[in-house]
């Protein structure tokens, strides 16, 4: 039998002779190998006390070996680290359990929506505020609830209230998408153990009719007339925004972020920077003659000095305009013969809101109108795709319903062809007399 076996895997690391180990004051060392793993350490450090006698050391070694063989052994340093980690997790859990939806919404907007770099982060902030302001079944604002206390049932009640309020399917889809993304992120970051939205939840995106609001030439003229009057009152260059939207197909946010350094009037080209676009892709667009005239008119200040490259094209004296909502609502209502009235709080009166809903015109409709006009003018669809910044032609086809426009064009060509064919046929009688009408062949009736 080896000396190691006789010593139960115990030894000392000291200048003392082996025969004096049982009496010397130095620490005992444990040495054991199991399943290819070596366990070597001081019994004093592992027991957190001084193990003096050999008998006591053998008893401690036997206990440690049994724990190793049963798979339950844990080094004291590892145990202390685990206990500290668990204590921190319990403390964090206690803090997280008190995080309300109001607090979480602000965190999500800052760390996710804004951090994404998308200009639509303000939409997320508005939707989350609307969700927080929803009054739950217990009569309390949902924003005041601890995040972990929000149930799927309560979120489905919120969705039902959107339906009852007559919110469009597209709007409800935005709510559903944001709720799922926010709770998924909350779970990932440890705010909640799991998302309250299950796989079989009724919170699902709804199919909705594609919006196809067209802007007639007459309506466009009335809007531009009203916009010119708005400019004098509010200094918002709404006239230029409308022309730019119809000539470029750009989104409102892209136009409001456009700076003079992005405009090259000599080359007749605009640069829509990726940081201001929905898909983060930079687009270079040609400037039409109509838009060039507008840009040339506003490229200098009222005192004749040109704007710097860092100043905004469609701003107030070069400064960024955050919203055009009031100017836009006023313009739309006046263009359609309604003089808007406002409450003392600065909001549209109910009668004006009803008129606005009946008109049903969004600024984004100009983007759709621009694409439709290009297709109707004979532009190749892949050119329209590039102008609108779509990922593929299929997206453009769906967005503009290009197939329907193509059918109209084909029918027009068919009518033209039929008229030419009829004009060449001199045997057709154009006057039917008496009961002989019923005796005509189907071929005659078609003509």
Which DSSP string do the residues of 190-210 spell out, in sequence order?
Answer: TSSSS-S--TT-S--PPP-PP
SS3 labels along 109-172: HHHHHCCCCCCCHHHHHHHHHHHHHCECCCCCEHHHCEHHHCCHHHHHHHHHHHHHCCCCHHHH
Residue 232 sits in the same domain as residue 341: yes
Residue 280 sits in the same domain as residue 320: yes
Question: Which stretch of DSSP H or E encloses residue 12?
Answer: strand 10-12
Residue 230 sits in the same domain as residue 327: yes
Find the CATH number of the domain harbouring 286: 1.10.443.10
Identify whether the C-beta of residue 306 lies closer than 8 Å to the C-beta of residue 299.
yes
Choose one of 296, 322, 349: the last residue of a domain.
Answer: 349
CA distances from 101 to 14, 107, 144, 300 (A): 62, 10, 6, 47
Domain membership flag for residue 177: yes
Bridge-based pairing state of the strands 283-286 and 269-272: antiparallel
Residue 225 sits in the same domain as residue 345: yes
Domain membership flag for residue 418: no
SS3 274: helix
- Edge to edge, the sheet with strand 10-12 lists 10-12, 28-34, 37-42
Residue 303 sits in the same domain as residue 233: yes
pTM value?
0.59
Domain membership flag for residue 390: no
Residue 264 sits in the same domain as residue 329: yes
Quickly tell me which residue has 């109707």 as its tokens.
376
Write the DSSP string, 423-439: HH-TT------GGGGGG
Distance CA 129, CA 323 (A): 18
Domain membership flag for residue 447: no
Domain membership flag for residue 326: yes
Residue 54 sits in the same domain as residue 117: no
Choose one of 349, 366, 387: the last residue of a domain.
Answer: 349
Residue 342 sits in the same domain as residue 287: yes
Identify whether the C-beta of residue 180 lies closer than 8 Å to the C-beta of residue 203.
yes
Residue 46 sits in the same domain as residue 101: no
Residue 223 sits in the same domain as residue 170: no
Choose one of 349, 381, 397: the last residue of a domain.
Answer: 349
Domain membership flag for residue 23: yes
Per-residue confidence (pLDDT) for residue 352, from 0 to 100: 95
389 closest CA partner among 279, 257, 275, 263: 279
Identify whether the C-beta of residue 157 lies closer than 8 Å to the C-beta of residue 136.
yes
Domain membership flag for residue 33: yes
CA distances from 77 to 11, 58, 85 (A): 21, 22, 12
User: Structural domain of residue 334, as residue ranges?
Assistant: 217-349
SS3 37: strand
Count how many domains the chain has. Answer: 3
Domain membership flag for residue 245: yes
Distance separating the N- and C-terminal Cα atoms of the chain: 118
Distance CA 139, CA 316 (A): 44
Residue 226 sits in the same domain as residue 321: yes
Q: Divide the 447 residues of the chain into consecutive groups of 10 and give the mean pLDDT of each group.
A: 59 89 90 90 87 88 90 87 78 66 93 80 91 88 90 91 87 92 92 87 74 89 92 68 95 93 95 84 94 92 89 88 90 95 90 94 93 89 91 80 66 76 52 44 43
Residue 107 sits in the same domain as residue 34: no
């Amino acid at each position: 039998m080896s000396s190691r076996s006789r010593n139960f895997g115990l030894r000392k690391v000291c200048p003392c002779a082996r025969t004096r180990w049982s009496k010397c004051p130095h620490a005992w060392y444990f040495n054991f190998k199991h399943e290819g793993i070596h366990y070597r350490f001081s019994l004093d450090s592992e027991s957190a006390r001084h193990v003096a006698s050999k008998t006591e050391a053998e008893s401690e070694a036997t206990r440690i070996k049994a724990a190793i063989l049963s798979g339950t052994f844990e080094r004291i340093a590892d145990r202390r680290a685990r206990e500290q980690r668990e204590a921190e997790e319990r403390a964090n859990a206690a803090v997280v359990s008190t995080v309300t939806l109001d607090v979480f919404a602000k965190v999500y907007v800052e760390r996710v929506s804004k951090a994404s770099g998308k200009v639509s982060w303000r939409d997320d902030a508005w939707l989350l505020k609307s969700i927080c302001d929803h009054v739950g079944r217990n009569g309390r604002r949902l924003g005041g609830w601890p995040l972990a206390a929000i149930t799927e049932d309560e979120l489905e009640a919120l969705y039902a209230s959107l339906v009852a309020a007559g919110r469009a399917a597209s709007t409800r889809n935005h709510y559903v998408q944001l709720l799922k993304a926010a709770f998924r992120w909350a779970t990932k970051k440890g705010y909640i153990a799991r998302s309250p939205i299950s796989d079989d939840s009724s919170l699902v995106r709804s199919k909705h009719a594609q919006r196809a609001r067209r802007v007639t030439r007459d309506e466009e003229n009335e809007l531009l007339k009203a916009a010119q009057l708005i400019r004098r009152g509010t200094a918002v260059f709404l006239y230029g925004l409308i022309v730019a939207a119809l000539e470029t197909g750009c989104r409102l946010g892209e136009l409001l972020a456009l700076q003079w350094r992005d405009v090259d009037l000599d080359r007749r080209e605009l640069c829509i920077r990726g940081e201001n676009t929905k898909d983060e892709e930079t687009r270079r667009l040609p400037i039409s003659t109509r838009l060039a005239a507008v840009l040339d008119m506003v490229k200098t200040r009222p005192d004749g000095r040109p704007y710097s490259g860092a100043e905004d094209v469609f701003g107030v004296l070069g400064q960024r305009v955050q919203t055009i909502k009031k100017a836009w609502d006023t313009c739309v209502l006046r263009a359609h013969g309604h003089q808007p009235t406002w409450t003392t709080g600065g909001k549209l009166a109910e009668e004006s809101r009803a008129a606005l809903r009946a008109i049903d015109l969004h600024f984004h409709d100009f983007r759709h109108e621009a694409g439709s006009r290009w297709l109707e003018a004979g532009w190749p669809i892949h050119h329209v795709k590039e102008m609108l910044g779509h990922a593929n032609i299929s997206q453009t086809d769906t967005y503009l319903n290009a197939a329907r426009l193509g059918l109209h064009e084909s029918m027009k060509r068919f009518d033209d062809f039929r008229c030419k064919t009829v004009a060449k046929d001199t045997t057709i009688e154009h006057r039917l007399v008496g009961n002989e009408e019923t005796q005509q062949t189907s071929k005659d009736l078609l003509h």
